[in-house]
Every structure is written in structure tokens, then in C-alpha cells.
């Protein structure tokens, strides 16, 4: 199934599911607020580029490049009033070094695929920034609903000139992706950003590549290359370092308040 078509049906399932739960409170005028509108457009770009990259490169490679996004978000978190600490900056830099390794590999494998995957990573970071601003104006559930509407508008035209077919297997996959990976996951992600900040959420996001690479190996039989394994190890190391630094920082804040 072509990437834009998959995104359309995935988002359609998510919209119908969330609208049945939260739609009565929806104020469509809020969709015109610039953080909401921009975040919705970025979500569409992010998903289309990510799934398109998967058709050109192994899952493990795409996932590593995609997760340059959280590192970029750490650097840009000052745009929403967060001050990156030194450990966060170091962790982001270490993650970028992993992406450079992947880039060197992509020069010999699929440069177009690398660039498409990189677009998905950059848009990931921008979604984090725009959505953090958006949840100051609307709830997390409303934001996801607005975003699904925007993405539906973006992807609907592809239905008329791209060939596709639906079967029971693809429909079950779309139901799972739409409800769990799109609707509920995004609500939790945006709500977490508002509660604990972009930096901490970005660090925790680095758990995803591990599971993606493992499942790609177990289900699809895609064995990650040596460079992909090294890159994943570097990203995880930086993620855990920032995570422990954040935990120490929170403990110190609690101790200072208790004094």
C-alpha cells in the first residue's frame, strides 16, 4: 500500500475513534491557531516520509535516522522556554554522531532513502516544538483530532491517482495503527510534553528504536548491519545518560524544596 494511502486510512481510523470519544467538545475554530495548523501539517509530512523511506531502506536504518528527531528537539527546546542542560546537549551531539555513521553508510546504499528518512526525523523534532505550543491552547485529545483532520485533507487527493487494495490483514493493521499508534500514543506523547518537558520525553523516545529493530529482526527477518548496531548503541547510551541526569536533577529539586 502506498505511503500516503496508508497514512490516510490510518488517520481516518484514528479520527473516527477519537471523535467518538471527544468529538462533542471539539471547536473547529481552534484548528486555525498557528501551532495547531503547523503541527498538523508536520504530522502529515512526518508520516508520509517515514513510511516512504521504509520502502527504500531496511527498517533498522530508517528508525535510526528517524530518531535524530528527539536529539534535534532537545536543541530546539529553548523555543518553548526550556533550557537544555549540558548533559542533554552532549546526548544530542552523541546521537548526531550516530546519524553521521548512518549517512556514511547511506552514501553507498540509498542516498534518496536517507534523505527521505532525514525529513521524517527533522519533522519529528518540529512536531515536538509546535505541539508543545499547541497544548497551551487546546487539550491533547483535541490537538490529535485537529491534526487528523489536517492530515486527512493532505492525503485524500492521493486516493484518486494511486492504486491500492484492502484486505482483512491490512484492515486489522490499520485498526491497530490508527487506534493505538496514532490516537492514544499521540495523546500520551503531547500530554507528557506538557507535564515533564520536551527534553525528558525526547530521551524516553529513544526506547522505541530498540523495539523497532528487534521486531524487524524477529518478524521481518531484517538483520541490522554492523553500523546500524553501533549507531543504535550510541543513541541508547546518550539517551540513558540524559535520562539519569534528568532524574538526578529532579531529585535535587525535590530536596531543595524539602529544605
Q: How far apart are CA 12 and CA 148, in angstroms?
A: 7
H-run or E-run covering 149: helix 140-155
The whole-number pLDDT of residue 189 equals 67
Q: How far apart are CA 140 and CA 99, in angstroms?
A: 31
C-alpha angle 177-129-11 in degrees, rounded to nearest 5: 20
* 222: region left, alpha or beta (phi > 0 left; psi from -120 to 50 alpha): beta
Check: CB of residue 65 under 8 Å from CB of residue 121.
Answer: yes
Q: How far apart are CA 88 and CA 93, in angstroms?
A: 9
Check: CB of residue 203 under 8 Å from CB of residue 69.
Answer: no
Phi, psi at 26, each rounded to 5°: -75, 130
The whole-number pLDDT of residue 183 equals 72
Number of CB atoms found within 10 A of residue 72's CB: 23
Number of CB atoms found within 10 A of residue 194's CB: 16
> Going residue by residue through the chain (259 aa), what tens digit of pLDDT does each one get?
777 888 888 888 888 888 887 766 777 787 878 888 998 899 889 888 888 888 888 776 777 778 778 777 877 777 777 776 677 677 767 777 776 676 666 555 677 888 888 898 899 888 888 888 888 888 887 888 888 889 899 888 888 887 777 777 777 877 777 777 777 777 776 777 666 667 667 666 666 766 777 777 788 777 777 777 777 777 777 767 766 776 677 677 666 666 5
- The DSSP line for 174-239 is HHHIIIIIIIIHHHHHHHHHHHH-HHHHHHHHTHHHHHHHHHHHHHS--PPPHHHHHHHHHHHHHH
The whole-number pLDDT of residue 24 equals 65
DSSP class of residue 26?
-
Residue 257 C-alpha from the chain's centroid: 34
Phi, psi at 148, each rounded to 5°: -65, -35
Instruction: Quote the cell numbers at residue 102.
Output: 548512518
Q: How far apart are CA 119 and CA 105, in angstroms?
A: 17
C-alpha angle 9-10-16 in degrees, rounded to nearest 5: 85
The whole-number pLDDT of residue 41 equals 92
**CA dist list (Å): 5 to 49, 66, 154, 157:** 12, 20, 11, 9
The whole-number pLDDT of residue 200 equals 66
Instruction: Quote the cell numbers at residue 60.
Output: 533498522
Question: What's the burial of 172, exposed, middle or buried (CB within 10 Å: 0-12/13-18/19+)?
Answer: exposed
Q: How far apart are CA 114 and CA 204, in angstroms?
A: 24
Amino acid at each position: 500500500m502506498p505511503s500516503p494511502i496508508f497514512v490516510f486510512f490510518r488517520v481516518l481510523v484514528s479520527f473516527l475513534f477519537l471523535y467518538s470519544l471527544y468529538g462533542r467538545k471539539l471547536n473547529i475554530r481552534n484548528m486555525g491557531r498557528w501551532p495547531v495548523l503547523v503541527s498538523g501539517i508536520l504530522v502529515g509530512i512526518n508520516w508520509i516520509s517515514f513510511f516512504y523511506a521504509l520502502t527504500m531502506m531496511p527498517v533498522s536504518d530508517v528508525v535510526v535516522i528517524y530518531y535524530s528527531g528527539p536529539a534535534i528537539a532537545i536543541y530546539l527546546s529553548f523555543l518553548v522556554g526550556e533550557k537544555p542542560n549540558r548533559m542533554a546537549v552532549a546526548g544530542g551531539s552523541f546521537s548526531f554522531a550516530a546519524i553521521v555513521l548512518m549517512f556514511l553508510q547511506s552514501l553507498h546504499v540509498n542516498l534518496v532513502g536517507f534523505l527521505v528518512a532525514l525529513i521524517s526525523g527533522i519533522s519529528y523534532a518540529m512536531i515536538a516544538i509546535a505541539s508543545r505550543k499547541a497544548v497551551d491552547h487546546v487539550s491533547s485529545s483535541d490537538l490529535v483530532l485537529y491534526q487528523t483532520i489536517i492530515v486527512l485533507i493532505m492525503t485524500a487527493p492521493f486516493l484518486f491517482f494511486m492504486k491500492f487494495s484492502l484486505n482483512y490483514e491490512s484492515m486489522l493493521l490499520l485498526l491497530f495503527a490508527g487506534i493505538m499508534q496514532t490516537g492514544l500514543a499521540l495523546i500520551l506523547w503531547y500530554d507528557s510534553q506538557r507535564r515533564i518537558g520536551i527534553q525528558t520525553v525526547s530521551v524516553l523516545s529513544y526506547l522505541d528504536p530498540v523495539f523497532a529493530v528487534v521486531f524487524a529482526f524477529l518478524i521481518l527477518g531484517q538483520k541490522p548491519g554492523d553500523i546500524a548496531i553501533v549507531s543504535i548503541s550510541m543513541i541508547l547510551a546518550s539517551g540513558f545518560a540524559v535520562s539519569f541526569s534528568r532524574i538526578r536533577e529532579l531529585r535535587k529539586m525535590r530536596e531543595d524544596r524539602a529544605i
